[in-house]
């Protein structure tokens, strides 16, 4: 099984010697297995865009090591923090049943792993198959600390499609020609939007269209006529992306570790946090074709990185003839306009579960969450700390609460140990004020209230949440990620959600199962799930600048009856604050 195409350049391979290299082989044993890994967080020189950057990596690798596992397997990952920053790791999309201790968001389920400290994440994959990924979940460290987590079917269980000849994981990333932590620090000081990235990347490489990058461009070899599986992950920090392959169609077969009804498309849109599995058949004349990704940008009047990253789909039979003396570049695919919401929406709406699913119908918790940005007024608008629009500071909120992460304890540790004063459980189920969410919103409504508010859910309750984007500052597609759950996306639309007419159009037959879904710019999306995983689970926008401004909240899912419905005790090495 060939899985992950990582180019190790000669100048850095020496650095890798002597380090703990992690290579996963899937053994042929019929039983579930336990995979042991050591992830050493360390700064390493990485050359991109003509410059060498001291980059936070795992085991010196950028992107980090690929985890190849099977449904039912367990993982034991010892994280050794040899970097200068506090860090935690999150296993994005893994349900972590009754085990919030292994989820990772810093100050939510654990205190950070300090420099010099270690923590071992232990978890089992239960009934999940497809592509997930792992990433740092503290400040902006996930800009470079991320890697794939590919879950293969149990031994002897086939895919619900013909077995592909090869598999390749394509991690789409965002590269800053700076230390990303400094970019964040500057933004938090000025109150303005953070600087945009300098490049997008595919498996860490920007590709041919950037300075100094051409030679390192990722190449995907393919044999004429064969079909391969591409596991595409949007690991970019702040940007939704369009993705296409010149002259080729793709067949979508899975998203976020759930199989989908196959459908053919020329372009995919993928939000930060999401994954998309596609089958690709080499049915074109043997040649080299660009694989490319660039921004899908929905925020109005906001600067964004408008560059294009590329990899090369290389027909093997074309290699010899075209490698030498090849003067013309591969063909670039046509990507939609940056603001092509029609294409993005049509793609996302086309995704359906492979077969009929069991959507909860009798709803116990009917939640309506407004999501969006805001502006905090400054008493001294000319202060260097108020460089947001018209002397303000950017903020963001859900239901007018701008989420504040605790600093002296994690939510889960405080809850488990009964430590008071860390959070309250009065998060509002509906917005405190009703207004025309997508209309011209009165400026007096733009400033939310900071708070560390949780919403309590009874074990086993049936939950519906409608995420309503607002036009405060700007309408925008917010990719909302829920930890600890896979939810059904039952409906979506534009404008204001209409509770009397829209639910009639919900899909209860074959809605997709996801862990991250976009709110629709100036629109809404509705999800449903059963609160069957006790613990504290973060819900947030996966655009990291929005997350840091407060576009988040947390659910406190209470224990049910007995041990099998209760949070397991924390591991002995859980970091303390």
Ligand X SMILES: *[C@@H]1O[C@H](CO)[C@@H](O)[C@H](O)[C@H]1NC(C)=O
List of residues contacting Cu ion (CB under 5 A): 478, 541, 543, 546
Name the token pair of 312.
Answer: 């090369």
111 near ligand X, judged by CB under 6 A: yes
**CB of 207 or CB of 431, closer to ligand X:** 431
How far, in Å, CA of 15 to CA of 22, rounded?
Answer: 14
Question: 3-state SS of 376-426?
Answer: EECCCCCCCCCCCCCCEEEEEEECCEEECCCCCCCHHHHHHHCCCCCCECC
Sheet of 240-245, strands arranged across: 219-222, 308-315, 288-296, 240-245, 267-270
How far, in Å, CA of 387 to CA of 380, rounded?
Answer: 11
560 neighbors 566 (Cβ within 8 angstroms): yes
Burial of residue 301, with CB atoms counted within 10 A of its CB: 0-12 exposed, 13-18 middle, 19 or more buried: exposed
Distances (CA, A) of 477 to 228, 241, 468, 483, 532: 31, 12, 10, 19, 28
183 near ligand X, judged by CB under 6 A: yes
Among 29, 163, 440, 501, binds ligand X (CB under 6 A): 440
Hey, how many other C-beta atoms are within 10 angstroms of the C-beta on 10? Answer: 6
| Chain-centre distance for alpha carbon 431 | 26
Query: 214: which DSSP letter?
Result: G
Q: Which does 86 bind (CB under 5 to 8 A by kind): Cu ion, ligand X, none?
A: ligand X
The nearest distance, CB 540 to Cu ion, in angstroms, is 8
The nearest distance, CB 205 to ligand X, in angstroms, is 20
The nearest distance, CB 336 to ligand X, in angstroms, is 10
Among 382, 390, 500, 501, binds ligand X (CB under 6 A): 390
- Residue whose structure tokens are 């596992």: 69
- With CB under 6 A as the contact rule, which of the stretches 32-40, 111-119, 162-170, 456-464 interacts with ligand X? 111-119
The nearest distance, CB 472 to ligand X, in angstroms, is 7
**CB of 307 or CB of 353, closer to ligand X:** 307
**CB of 81 or CB of 275, closer to ligand X:** 81
298 neighbors 520 (Cβ within 8 angstroms): no
327 near ligand X, judged by CB under 6 A: no
Alpha helices (H) along 110-256: 180-190
The nearest distance, CB 302 to ligand X, in angstroms, is 11
Q: Return phi, psi of residue 318, to 5°.
A: -95, -15
Among 100, 105, 130, 448, binds ligand X (CB under 6 A): 448
- Residue whose structure tokens are 């009964």: 418
86 near ligand X, judged by CB under 6 A: yes
Hey, how many other C-beta atoms are within 10 angstroms of the C-beta on 389? Answer: 14
Q: Which does 389 bind (CB under 5 to 8 A by kind): Cu ion, ligand X, none?
A: ligand X
Among 224, 377, 461, 565, binds ligand X (CB under 6 A): 377
Sign of the dihedral through C-alpha 116, 122, 125, 126: negative
261 near ligand X, judged by CB under 6 A: no
Among 251, 284, 447, 462, binds ligand X (CB under 6 A): 447
Half-sphere exposure at residue 555, Cβ-oriented, CA atoms within 13 angstroms: 29
Binding string, 267-306, against ligand X, x = CB under 6 A?
---------------------------------------x
**CB of 202 or CB of 401, closer to Cu ion:** 401
Name the token pair of 575.
Answer: 């970091």
Q: Which does 478 bind (CB under 5 to 8 A by kind): Cu ion, ligand X, none?
A: Cu ion
Among 32, 404, 449, 568, binds ligand X (CB under 6 A): 449
Binding string, 187-216, against ligand X, x = CB under 6 A?
--------x---------------------
The nearest distance, CB 76 to ligand X, in angstroms, is 24
- With CB under 6 A as the contact rule, which of the stretches 75-83, 109-117, 281-289, 450-458 interacts with ligand X? 109-117
Closest chain position to ligand X (CB): 439
Q: Across the chain, how many H-helices and E-strands are there?
A: 6, 32
Tell me whether the omega of the peptide bond preceding residue 537 falls within 30 degrees of 0, making it cis.
no
Q: Looking only at residues 395 through 414 of this chain, which bind ligand X when binding is defined by CB under 6 A?
A: 400
333 near ligand X, judged by CB under 6 A: no
**CB of 275 or CB of 496, closer to ligand X:** 496
500 near ligand X, judged by CB under 6 A: no
Name the token pair of 492.
Answer: 């979506």
Among 118, 124, 166, 186, binds ligand X (CB under 6 A): 186
Cβ partners under 8 Å of residue 359, min gap 6: 488, 490, 508, 511, 528
| Chain-centre distance for alpha carbon 393 | 26
337 near ligand X, judged by CB under 6 A: yes
112 near ligand X, judged by CB under 6 A: yes
Site residues for ligand X per CB under 6 A: 86, 111-112, 114, 178, 182-183, 186, 195, 306, 337, 339, 377, 389-390, 400, 431-433, 436, 439-440, 443-445, 447-449, 577
């Amino acid at each position: 099984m060939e899985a992950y195409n990582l180019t190790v350049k000669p100048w850095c391979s020496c650095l890798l010697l002597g380090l703990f290299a992690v290579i996963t082989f899937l053994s042929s044993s019929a039983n579930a297995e336990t995979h042991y890994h050591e992830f050493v967080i360390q700064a390493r020189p990485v050359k991109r865009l003509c410059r060498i950057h001291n980059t936070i990596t795992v085991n010196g690798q950028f992107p980090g090591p690929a985890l190849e596992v099977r449904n039912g397997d367990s993982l034991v990952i010892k994280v050794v923090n040899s970097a200068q920053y506090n860090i935690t790791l999150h296993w994005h999309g893994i349900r972590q049943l009754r085990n919030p201790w292994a989820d990772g968001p810093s100050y939510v389920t654990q205190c950070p792993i300090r420099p010099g400290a270690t923590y071992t994440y232990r978890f089992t994959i239960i009934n999940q198959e497809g592509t997930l990924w792992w990433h740092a979940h503290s400040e902006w460290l996930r800009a470079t600390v991320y890697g794939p987590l590919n879950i293969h079917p149990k031994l002897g269980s086939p895919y619900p499609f013909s077995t592909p000849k090869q598999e390749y994981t394509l991690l789409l990333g965002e590269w800053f020609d700076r230390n990303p932590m400094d970019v964040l620090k500057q933004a938090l000081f000025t109150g303005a939007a953070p600087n945009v990235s300098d490049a997008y990347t595919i498996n860490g490489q920007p590709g041919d269209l950037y300075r100094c990058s051409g030679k390192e461009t990722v190449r995907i070899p393919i044999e004429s006529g064969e079909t391969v599986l591409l596991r595409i992950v949007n690991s970019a920090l702040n940007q939704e992306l369009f993705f296409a392959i010149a002259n080729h169609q793709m067949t979508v077969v899975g998203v976020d570790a759930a199989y989908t009804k196959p459908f053919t498309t020329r372009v995919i849109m993928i939000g930060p946090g999401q994954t998309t599995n596609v089958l690709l058949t080499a049915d074109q004349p043997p040649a080299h074709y660009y694989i490319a990704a660039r921004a899908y940008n929905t925020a109005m009047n906001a600067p964004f990185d408008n560059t294009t990253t590329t990899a090369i789909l290389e027909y093997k039979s074309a290699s010899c003839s075209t490698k030498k003396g090849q003067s013309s570049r591969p063909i670039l695919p046509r990507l939609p306009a940056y603001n092509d919401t029609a294409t993005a929406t049509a793609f996302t709406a086309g995704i359906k579960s492979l077969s009929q699913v069991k959507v909860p119908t009798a709803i116990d918790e009917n939640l309506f969450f407004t999501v969006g940005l805001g502006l905090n007024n400054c008493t001294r608008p000319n202060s260097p700390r108020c460089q947001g629009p018209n002397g303000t500071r950017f903020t963001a909120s859900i239901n007018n609460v701008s989420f504040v992460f605790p600093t002296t304890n994690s939510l889960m540790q405080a809850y488990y140990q009964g430590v008071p004063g860390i959070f309250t459980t009065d998060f509002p189920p509906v917005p405190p004020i009703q207004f025309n969410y997508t209309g011209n919103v009165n400026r007096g409504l733009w400033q939310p209230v900071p708070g560390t508010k949780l919403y309590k859910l009874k074990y086993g309750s049936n939950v519906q949440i409608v995420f309503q984007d607002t036009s405060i500052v700007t309408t925008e597609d917010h990719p909302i990620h829920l930890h600890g759950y896979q939810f059904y996306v039952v409906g979506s639309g534009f404008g204001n959600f209409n509770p009397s007419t829209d639910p009639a159009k919900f899909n209860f037959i074959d809605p997709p199962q996801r862990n991250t879904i976009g709110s629709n710019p100036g629109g809404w999306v509705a999800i449903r799930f059963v609160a069957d995983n006790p613990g504290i689970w973060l819900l947030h926008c996966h655009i990291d600048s929005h997350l840091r401004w407060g576009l988040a909240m947390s659910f406190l899912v209470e224990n049910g009856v007995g041990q099998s419905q209760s949070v397991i005790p924390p591991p002995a090495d859980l970091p303390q604050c």
